[in-house]
């Protein structure tokens, strides 16, 4: 299941199991979402947030000099 910036697998299941959650790389501002897992008469909502990604800068000077840097 793909939701916002995360992918949770498997999408469905039964009995005991594991849910794997992977977040896409964040290249922008802080972001958040949640996933809800239901089973056995219990429902849990898990909040997920991801810090802002690095800021990639390319500066071109008047003389044509190029500076590339990443601010984390």
- Over the stretch 30-46, which tens digit does the pLDDT of each residue have? 999 998 888 888 898 98
pLDDT of residue 33: 93
Whole-number Å distance between alpha carbons of 50 and 52: 7
The total of structural domains in the chain comes to 1
- pTM score, two decimals? 0.63
| pLDDT given for residue 61 in this prediction | 76
**In the prediction, which pLDDT does 51 show?**
85
What is the spatial distance between Cα 10 and Cα 61, in angstroms, rounded to a whole number? 50
Angstrom CA distances, 25 to 22, 32, 41, 52, 60, stand at 9, 13, 34, 10, 26
Locate 1 and state its tokens.
């299941």
Residues of the chain with pLDDT under 70: 71-72
């Amino acid at each position: 299941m793909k939701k916002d910036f995360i992918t949770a697998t498997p999408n469905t299941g039964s009995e005991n199991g594991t849910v794997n959650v992977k977040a896409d790389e964040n290249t922008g501002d802080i972001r958040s979402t949640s996933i809800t897992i239901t089973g056995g008469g219990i429902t849990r909502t898990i909040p997920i947030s991801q810090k802002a990604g690095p800021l990639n800068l390319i500066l071109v000077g008047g003389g044509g000099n190029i500076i590339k840097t990443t601010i984390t």
